[in-house]
Amino acid sequence: MRVALFTETFLPKVDGIVTVLVLLMDHLIERGVDFAVIAPRLDRRITAYRGRPVIGVPGVRLPLYPELRIGPPTPGTYRAVKAFRPDIAHFIHPALVGTGGLLMAKRLSVPALASFHLDLATMMQYFGLGFLERAVWWYTRANFNAADYALAPSRRMQSALRAHGVREVGLWRRGVDAGRFHPRHRTSAMRHRLSGGHPADTLLLYVGRLSSEKQIGLIRPALDTIPGTRLAIVGDGPARAELEARFAGAPATFMGYLSGEDLSSAFASADIFVFPSAMETFGLVLVEAMAAGLPVVSARVGGADDVITPGVNGYLFEVGDGRGLIDGVRAVASDPARRIEMGHNARRFAESQAWPAMMDELIACYDDLIAGRRPSI
């Protein structure tokens, strides 16, 4: 089997989409599936991934999201894809590279699969472009219906895609590397760093991009009203300066980007994971935090309903509900024994969400589409 993977973002950028794509590529290699990546050229030095070709698409920086480059595939892109001779094309949320790629797939007579990874329509609201939301959904619907099959990452997004007119929508669940994210990575040194030298306090953790739609400022009132709580913010982004001003004088530590062992240790060394984001397609960090043994207090977005059982491994609150966030954090923080039990429950759930099983379901979907069958997922 030969798979053409079209994506709008790629290494060296670090985000949820790239994380899933890297996990997919590693799994395809493990299963002996050949692939080529077609992606915006963010770094000219990246021409291959573990020996598999990366076909770079030229582009320009996106003003609203400067970490990205955008641009349509070129005739040279088409020639390179044709020379690869794919059996199937998988579009990681087709937007621009993917739209051109869908035309290539039709011209090459190979089946096309589109997976949903980014709620662009809702994001427009946070860029002050809410008037474009309907147009973005129209464009999303057109792209996903141009594919032979679509995959959503959560039941919530599956329902949303169907409600907006996408015809064939399956469910490609998200998993976690339960070895990389594990309570054993907890260290006193990392806890000291995260807590700003106050390791005895109850340590809340946020991991992710620092941007307006993440609504990280909603956590500040919890620090003000729940005694003995502190917050560690791991990540970076355009809202960092604004957030540093918002949390001035509060017991909060900005850690910047962490990766590898430091990131694993940061998850495991906290007490409660707090996620107030207003928009997610799934929210990989939720299951990563649970794998590290943390109860999760999250806005009801993306896959949160799929992974959090209120009162068992965390709590849910409606988007923008600061009172609900405070109540969830207080319920966990007020009873250390219960917090530990909920952390154990979170870990047990995460252990059932192994990436290999999810990726094998995707490969089975590839097989079905190549054979002309309706996928079973």
Write the DSSP string, 251-262: SEEEEE---HHH
Q: Which of 7-16, 138-147, 243-252, 341-350 has the lowest mean pLDDT?
A: 7-16
CATH 3.30.420.40 at 183-351, yes or no: no
C-beta neighbour count of 262 within 10 angstroms? 15
Give kind and range of the element (H or E) at residue 140. Answer: helix 133-146
Q: What integer pLDDT is reported at residue 124 of this predicted model?
A: 83
pLDDT band at 287 (very low <50, low <70, confident <90, very high): very high
Strand intervals (E) in the chain: 2-7, 34-40, 48-49, 52-57, 60-62, 65-70, 88-92, 112-115, 149-152, 169-171, 202-207, 229-234, 252-256, 272-275, 296-299, 314-317
Q: Mapped to the 3 state alphabet, what secondary structure does 298-366 carry?
A: EECCCCHHHHCCECCCEEEECCCCHHHHHHHHHHHHCCHHHHHHHHHHHHHHHHCCEHHHHHHHHHHHH
Place of tokens 């089946």: 111
Q: Name the residue type at position 252.
A: A
- Please state the domain extents for the chain: 2-175+354-370, 183-351
Cα–Cα distance between 71 and 90 in angstroms, integer? Answer: 18
Q: What integer pLDDT is reported at residue 65 of this predicted model?
A: 60
Cα–Cα distance between 25 and 31 in angstroms, integer? Answer: 10
Tens of pLDDT, residue by residue over 28-52, are: 999 999 999 999 987 888 999 999 9
Domains 2-175+354-370 and 183-351 share a fold: yes
pLDDT over 90 (residue 279): no
Tens of pLDDT, residue by residue over 51-82, are: 999 999 987 766 656 566 677 899 999 999 99
pLDDT over 80 (residue 232): yes
Q: Say if residues 108 and 86 touch (Cβ distance below 8 Å).
A: yes
Mean pLDDT for 158-170 is 96
3 state SS of 209:
coil
CATH 3.20.20.70 at 2-175+354-370, yes or no: no
Q: Say if residues 143 and 102 touch (Cβ distance below 8 Å).
A: yes
